[in-house]
Chains A and B, each alone.
Chain A
Amino acid sequence: MIRTIATATCILAAGTMAQAQDVRITTFKSESTFSLNGITFTVTRDQNTNAVLQGEFTRTSRACPPHCLQPISLGSGVETFGELEVMSYLETSVSDGIGLLVDARSPQEFAISAIPGSVNVPFITLAAENRFRPDILRALGAVDVAGGAMDFSGAMDLAVYSGGVWSNDAPMAIQNLIEAGYPAEKIHYYRGGMQAWTHVGLSTISSANPG
């Protein structure tokens, strides 16, 4: 036990000295690096230990409805992610080109700040009312089959997030996807969303869609 603590302390000390990094993601992980279609992204945490949240995500209270608290599990077989799972998903599925991290918020919100490597697909565009929804589903890898249905067996894995635990954008997007026939086991839900991501000082990007 003591030996373990000592080892851990040594590693921590070594890490601190080597990289002068005080705020790591986990003890053994200081950054998350992944690539999306040839572009490399690196996620780290803000090294300023005095940093506090600024702007939109300092707000505690948004009107409910529509901004109502969401459950940990959306049910119907959709797995829920925390921050570490999102990073590991980015390093594996997204880097391998078999998964996408989807931001279900509006394009305006997405442009201000988003998780590196994410793609903006506002939940409203996945609603049945959008006549062009099949085009989006095809872009995600669904294939038309006879009778107007779609085959999702080759479709990409999706991890969907929105503003935070108070936002139903991501749950709506997931509900719309499932209604369209997207298999629930291909969908993941990052419940914490932008608020939880920024709350622990993880890197964000501010731009239009990457690329």
Chain B
Amino acid sequence: MIRTVVVLFAFAVVLCGLIVFGPFGDDEDVANQDRLGTPLEADVEVTRAAVTPETDIAAIAQAAVSVTEAAAAPQQAVVEAPQRVDVARPNTDNTRLSDMTNNVLAELGFAGVEHVTTNSEVQRESTSQILAGIEAATGQSSILQESETLEAIVIAALRAGESDEAIDQIVNNAAAAGSVAVPEILVTSDGRVDTHVLLNNIVTQAQIAAGGAAPAVPELSPEDVQGLEVRVVQQATTDVQARFYTVQSGDSLGAISIKFFGSTEHFNAIFEANRGLLSSPDRIRIGQRLVIPELDNV
């Protein structure tokens, strides 16, 4: 009884494989069905049938990739070829750049800017409570690592009147040593920390805090911006411009947001529009072709 069921099931699997992939001619179909009469043979066939589709899927997937690559190659020939090898990236935490900037300004004594609690501080606080609990239970004292924060480094550098280049050096050395975590949108396609965006955002937020206007959305044309591509898509009532941007060396998501929208605050719109390409905002690679969304209310 069981054997019959197994045979019928095996037959169904083989048949599905044949319908979906159709790798055999009609003659072989007949041959398969003949051999299904004997269970042993049927098992062998199942194994083969099970392997064949998988191999086919892999082969098809591979073919698809190579086709995509081939199709993509001419466009990217203009810029650099996409880097498949992942670069080393600085540690990130989920602290928001705007929170971090806000705290830098508050620490520098900017009027009207209050310290906000960053995600990193929340983590630290809850961890210290847990350590207190473990300490009470084990009787051993534990140490909560006093790790440097990006805020502290930037504040110290700004107070010391360091140049932009020097700040870039200091921050990147700290990030490369792994002693500091940075907001994800500051990570560039080369795996560095984009201190230009970091400093730009401090200036922008300082201007807004001082009552200045938010930066305007710049007008861009493909002639001025390397990697920008504008396509006109015809719709029923109007023509819509779709913009694409190929990631260049040294770009961070924050930098791309500033480039297209004037400030870092719209990085999430870009990130959401490219979720298929970007697993997280810091996983940006040279040669990736990002969709630049239209902001409705800007």
Q: Please, how many angstroms separate the alpha-carbon atoms of A66 and B115 in the complex?
A: 35
Instruction: State how many angstroms separate the Cβ of A97 from the closest Cβ of chain B.
Output: 7
Q: Is the CB of A120 within 8 A of B144?
A: no
Residue of B nearest to A139 (CB): B142
Cβ of B284 under 8 Å from chain A: no
Contacts of A117 in B (CB 8 A): 137
Checking A121, A132, A208 against B124 with a beta-carbon cut-off of 8 angstroms, the contacting residue is A132
**Bound state CA distance, A139 and B141, in angstroms?**
8
Contacts of A97 in B (CB 8 A): 138-139
Query: Are A125 and B130 in contact (CB-based, < 8 A)?
Result: yes
Please, which residue of chain A has its CB at the minimum distance from the CB of B127? A132
Docked pose: A74 CA to B44 CA in angstroms: 34
Partner of B137 from the list A36, A129, A130, A135 (CB cut-off 8 Å) is A36
Contact among B129, B139, B142 with A38 in the assembled complex (CB-CB below 8 Å): B139
Chain B count of residues within 8 A CB distance of the other chain:
26
Is residue A136 within 8 Å, beta carbon to beta carbon, of the partner chain? yes
Which A residues are CB-close (under 8 A) to B145? 132, 134-135
Q: Are B123 and A131 in contact (CB under 8 A)?
A: yes
Question: Which residues from chain B contact A130 at a C-beta distance below 8 Å?
Answer: 123, 127
Alpha-carbon distance A38/B137, docked complex (angstroms): 9
Interface residue range, chain A: 20 to 34
Would A136 and B120 count as touching, CB distance under 8 A? no
Is A75 interfacial (CB-CB < 8 Å)? no
Whether A209 contacts B126 in the complex (CB less than 8 A), given A132-B145, A135-B131, comes out as: no
Shortest CB-to-CB span from A198 to chain B, Å, is 21
Since A131-B91, A131-B181, A136-B131 are in contact, a sample of 19 more A-B pairs with Cβ atoms closer than 8 Å, ordered by chain A residue number, is: A37-B138, A97-B138, A107-B126, A119-B137, A121-B134, A122-B126, A125-B127, A129-B93, A129-B94, A132-B127, A132-B144, A133-B127, A135-B131, A136-B127, A138-B143, A139-B131, A139-B140, A156-B138, A211-B135
- List B residues at the A interface (Cβ < 8 Å): 91, 93-94, 120, 123-124, 126-127, 129-140, 142-145, 147, 181
